[in-house]
Structure 1
């Protein structure tokens, strides 16, 4: 696994990972939602994007079978996962429970 990614995921700050693909329509719809979420929760949560086509080993490690898939990590452990679109409210509510 990418050492940098592992360092990021092991941080005590929650990390929301967006597994996406450039060709994925729903992924393109999720991107602006994530920007809104980031502006709402600020620096309390880190949001990163991983392109499954550019990082197939990471996608395989987390058993990503469909995109978009969102996984929330806390101290290196996945604490929430969802495939498909997630709403701004759903994500903000989720993240506020984990900060």
Structure 2
């Protein structure tokens, strides 16, 4: 796995810490462990699938769907990060 530069330099995890390990766990079939490690893994996977399908089949409101999925992912990532940092500093 690639090391996190933010964690190496400052000792604090970034918003993407755990995504690589969660993706590996997902492909190994450890679905619950992947979610617990990085809660946004499934919403990011959904966004990636939508973007891939959108390359070949154009949806009517594709732009709005993309923006909605991106905002949804950002909220999940930020929320999980805040919870992680709250537990880290306690």
TM-score normalised by L of structure 2? 0.30
TM-score normalised by L of structure 1? 0.28
Question: Would you tell me which structure has more strand in proportion to its own residues?
Answer: 1
Instruction: Determine which structure has greater relative contact order: mean sequence separation of CA pairs < 8 Å that are 6+ residues apart, divided by chain length.
Output: 1
